[in-house]
């Protein structure tokens, strides 16, 4: 069956709400909120440690070992191999949590394979990628626990991990897909869906908004090489990291310093950002086990009020969400959750909050917009160079500016680099607003390409190449059928096909 227009849109809404109510809420409602929150909080830490150790804390040889270490055939040999690999660097409790995640992943793989279901991983590294892909769903489920859990059932951590995997793999993955399709229904006038007998829904357009490592795009990321210059500004103030741990208060303190270095580097000030950092520094004094932050409500209120009654209300609105809507909560970056008589968070939620706050503040700075644009251009040059393009040394021809001009296979490629900010949370929170902004950007980018076409004679005269092709590279998501508008994460489409030599 085919549906289009408002009928298709309403069907997608109904299906998304159905997954939230009949899967997410139904699975969580019988559970005890306080017990479930605390247990899931521990699971989230274990999963975060597992991802970080597997992907960032091992050397190349160990990385390759994890790539082939089988989970389905897990035994004492592999368990001891992990011990020997991790014990020299991490304390026993961290290693034990890592091995526990591997063992639980093994047991789930066995259980799911018996029912014919495939979780999509077979090695330790593939399991880390699996959890990385569903990390957002795990955290969103964790944040919704105080709202959705109404009963008295207390499950073990092992049982709750399976609940999280089921919710993520069979519920929230569908909610995310449906929300994306809803957005596309607002963008494309000819949008339609096919509904199959098994209930599957397939739209005539697809789009992936996340970066290659399942993160949201930002103008300048923390791992951008140029930010090394910013970090030098605070390098002498960084604290030594706690030995044997993945997360710690000293790491959080360093992250705060590094985030502040952005403001210094881009010569930007923001009193609200400074206020919130000062509040966070007070609240994290209540850290436990170098990860969990738990503040009694009386102490929490006292800390906020110490900054004055007017600012206390601003702080509360930034630190806590006041919605019971899953879509709203899952697209917010509020770091604290009230559970019982305590406000709770963790070092990663705090860092996520501060980075989001930093991005929102810097995006208002004209100087940051200009500098980040140059940084983006340079990154595009580096990536295109790695794809076999010759970067032409040209910035102006007859006082006309060009961003990135390249040459490959007898063709001159002219790339316009656009760093216009797009708030990806609007994809689910406010699709109409996203679609309007998207439409404006598409028109703007097409006019930019038209401008380049009208002056391509300058490139032809300079280089003597008749075949000139023009593209816009967007740092942020733009939904369009136009092949000349490309997201920077998709530059690999220019990779040469591999030819098998006979």
pLDDT above 70 for 213: no
Among candidate residues 166, 173, 66, the one with its CA nearest the CA of residue 122 = 66
Sequence-distant (≥ 6) Cβ neighbours of residue 495 within 8 angstroms: 387
Q: Is the pLDDT of residue 216 over 90?
A: no
The predicted pLDDT at position 366 comes to 87
pLDDT surpasses 60 at 273: yes
Q: What is the mean pLDDT of residues 290-302?
A: 97
- Residue 470 has a pLDDT of 96
* CA angle, residues 382, 386, 390, in degrees to nearest 5: 80
> Which pair of structure tokens corresponds to residue 164?
């999280």
* C-alpha of 365 from chain center: 23
pLDDT band at 215 (very low <50, low <70, confident <90, very high): low
pLDDT band at 498 (very low <50, low <70, confident <90, very high): very low
pLDDT, one tens digit per residue, over 435-465 is: 999 999 999 999 999 999 999 999 999 999 9
State mean pLDDT over 223-238. 81
| Residue pLDDT, tens place only, 38-62 | 999 999 999 999 999 999 999 999 9
Residue 74 is predicted with a pLDDT of: 92
Query: CB neighbours (10 Å) of residue 134?
Result: 20
Closest CA to 141 of 17, 319, 326, 15: 326
Place of tokens 């593939």: 126
DSSP helix/strand/coil, 438 = helix
Q: Which residues pair with 417 in a beta bridge?
A: 473
Mean pLDDT within 10-20 = 93
**Is the confidence at residue 344, as pLDDT, over 70?**
yes
Quick check: 183 pLDDT over 90?
yes
The closest alpha carbon to 44, from 151, 222, 168, belongs to: 168
pLDDT of 1 reads: 87
Give, rounded to a whole angstrom, the gap between the first and last alpha carbons of the chain.
47
Residues 476-497: tens digit of each pLDDT: 999 999 999 999 989 988 886 6
pLDDT at residue 502 in the model: 38
pTM of this prediction exceeds 0.75: yes
User: Is the predicted pLDDT of residue 155 greater than 50, yes or no?
Assistant: yes
pLDDT at residue 404, as a whole number: 94
User: Considering the chain, what percentage of its residues have pLDDT values greater than 90?
Assistant: 71
Number of H helices, E strands in the chain: 21, 14
**Cβ partners under 8 Å of residue 64, min gap 6:** none
- The answer to whether 167 and 144 are in contact (CB under 8 A) is no
Position 395 scores a pLDDT of: 86
Confidence band, pLDDT 50/70/90 cuts, at residue 175? very high
β-strand pairing of 201-203 with 342-346? unpaired
pLDDT exceeds cutoff 90 at 235: no
Q: How confident is the model at residue 345 (pLDDT cuts 50, 70, 90)?
A: very high
- Average pLDDT over the chain, rounded to an integer: 91
CB-based contacts of 178, cutoff 8 Å, min separation 6: 12, 15, 16, 19, 201
Distance, in Å, from the CA atom of 88 to the CA atom of 67, rounded to the nearest integer, reads 20
pLDDT at 500: 43
pLDDT at 501 over 50: no
């Amino acid at each position: 069956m085919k549906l289009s227009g408002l009928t298709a849109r309403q069907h997608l809404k109904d299906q998304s709400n159905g997954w939230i109510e009949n899967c997410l809420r139904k699975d969580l409602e019988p559970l005890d909120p306080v017990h479930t929150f605390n247990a899931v909080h521990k699971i989230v830490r274990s999963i975060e440690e597992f991802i970080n150790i597997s992907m960032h804390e091992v050397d190349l040889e160990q990385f390759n070992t994890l790539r082939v270490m089988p989970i389905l055939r897990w035994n004492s040999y592999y368990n001891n191999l992990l011990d020997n690999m991790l014990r020299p660097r991490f304390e026993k409790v961290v290693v034990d949590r890592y091995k526990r995640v591997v063992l639980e992943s093994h047991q789930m793989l066995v259980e799911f394979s018996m029912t014919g279901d495939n979780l999509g991983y077979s090695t330790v590294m593939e399991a880390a990628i699996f959890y990385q892909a569903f990390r957002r769903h795990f955290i969103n489920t964790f944040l919704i626990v105080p709202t959705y859990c109404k009963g008295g059932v207390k499950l073990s951590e092992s049982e709750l991990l399976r609940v999280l995997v089921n919710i993520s793999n069979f519920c929230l993955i569908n909610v995310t897909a449906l929300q994306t399709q809803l957005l596309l229904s607002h963008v494309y006038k000819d949008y339609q869906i096919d509904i199959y007998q098994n209930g599957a829904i397939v739209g005539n357009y697809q789009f992936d908004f996340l970066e290659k490592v399942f993160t949201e795009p930002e103008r300048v990321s923390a791992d951008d090489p140029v930010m090394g210059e910013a970090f030098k500004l605070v390098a002498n103030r960084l604290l030594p990291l706690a030995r044997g741990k993945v997360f710690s208060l000293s790491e959080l303190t360093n992250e705060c310093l590094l985030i502040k270095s952005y403001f210094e580097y881009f010569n930007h000030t923001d009193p609200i950002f400074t206020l919130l950092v000062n509040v966070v520094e007070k609240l994290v004094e209540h850290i436990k086990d170098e990860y969990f932050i738990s503040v009694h409500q009386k102490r929490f209120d006292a800390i906020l009020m110490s900054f004055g009654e007017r600012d206390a209300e601003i702080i509360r609105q930034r630190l806590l969400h006041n919605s019971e809507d899953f879509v709203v909560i899952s697209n917010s970056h509020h770091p604290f959750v009230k559970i019982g008589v305590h406000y709770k968070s963790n070092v990663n939620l705090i860092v996520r909050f501060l980075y989001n706050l930093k991005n929102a503040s810097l995006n208002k700075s004209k100087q940051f917009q200009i500098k980040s644009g140059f940084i983006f251009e340079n990154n595009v040059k580096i990536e295109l160079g790695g794809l076999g393009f010759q970067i032409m040394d040209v910035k102006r021809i007859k006082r006309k500016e060009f961003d990135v001009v390249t040459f490959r296979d007898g063709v001159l490629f002219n790339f316009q680099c656009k760093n216009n900010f797009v708030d990806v949370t609007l994809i689910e929170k406010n699709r109409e607003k996203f679609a309007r902004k998207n439409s404006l950007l598409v028109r703007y980018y097409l006019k930019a390409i038209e401008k380049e076409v009208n002056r391509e004679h300058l490139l032809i005269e300079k280089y003597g190449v008749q075949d000139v092709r023009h593209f816009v590279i967007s740092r942020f998501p733009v939904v369009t059928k136009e092949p000349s508008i490309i997201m920077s994460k998709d530059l690999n489409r220019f990779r040469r096909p591999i030819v098998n030599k006979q």
